[in-house]
Amino acid sequence: MHSDLVKAADLIGVELSALEEASKTSQRLLSQFRQVLKKEFSNNPPDGLEKTDIVFLGSIAREEASFQSDCDYYVLQHGAPPETTRRLITSAEKIRETFGSGQPGGQGVFGNIVVAANLYESIGLELDSNANMTRRVLLLSESKPVTEGKAHAEVIDHILSRYCADYLPPIRAKSSSAKVPRYLLNDLVRYWRTMAVDFGTKRWRTGDSHLRLAKLRITRKVLFAGPLATVLFAEQDIDTNEKLQSYLKKSLAAPPLAQIAKHVDSMSQKSQKAMKILLQNYDQFIGILSGDKREVLKGIKGDSKSQEELREQCRKIGDKIQSSLEQIFFEDPLLKKSFRKYSVF
| Residue 79 clears pLDDT 70, i.e. is over it | yes
Count of beta carbons in the 10 Å neighbourhood of residue 277: 17
> Rounded mean pLDDT of 3-21?
96
Question: Global pTM?
Answer: 0.92
| Residue 172 clears pLDDT 70, i.e. is over it | yes
Residue 265 DSSP symbol? G
> Rounded mean pLDDT of 162-188?
92
Q: What is the pLDDT of residue 306?
A: 87
Order of strands across the sheet with 52-57? 113-115, 73-77, 52-57, 143-145
Q: What is the mean pLDDT of the chain?
A: 91
> Rounded mean pLDDT of 147-175?
93
| Residue 276 clears pLDDT 90, i.e. is over it | yes
Backbone phi and psi for residue 143, each to the nearest 5 degrees, phi listed first: -145, 145
Give domain limits for the chain. Answer: 3-342
Task: Report the number of secondary-structure helices (H) and strands (E) in the chain.
Answer: 17, 4
> Rounded mean pLDDT of 92-107?
71
- Residues 187/130, Cβ–Cβ less than 8 Å: no
Whole-number Å distance between alpha carbons of 142 and 38:
23
Q: What is the dihedral of CA 198, 199, 204, 207, to 10 degrees?
A: 150
Q: What is the pLDDT of residue 107?
A: 60
| Residue 16 clears pLDDT 90, i.e. is over it | yes
Closest CA to 145 of 75, 193, 200: 75
Beta strands in the chain (DSSP E): 52-57, 73-77, 113-115, 143-145
| Residue 218 clears pLDDT 80, i.e. is over it | yes
The more confident residue out of 252 and 92 is: 252
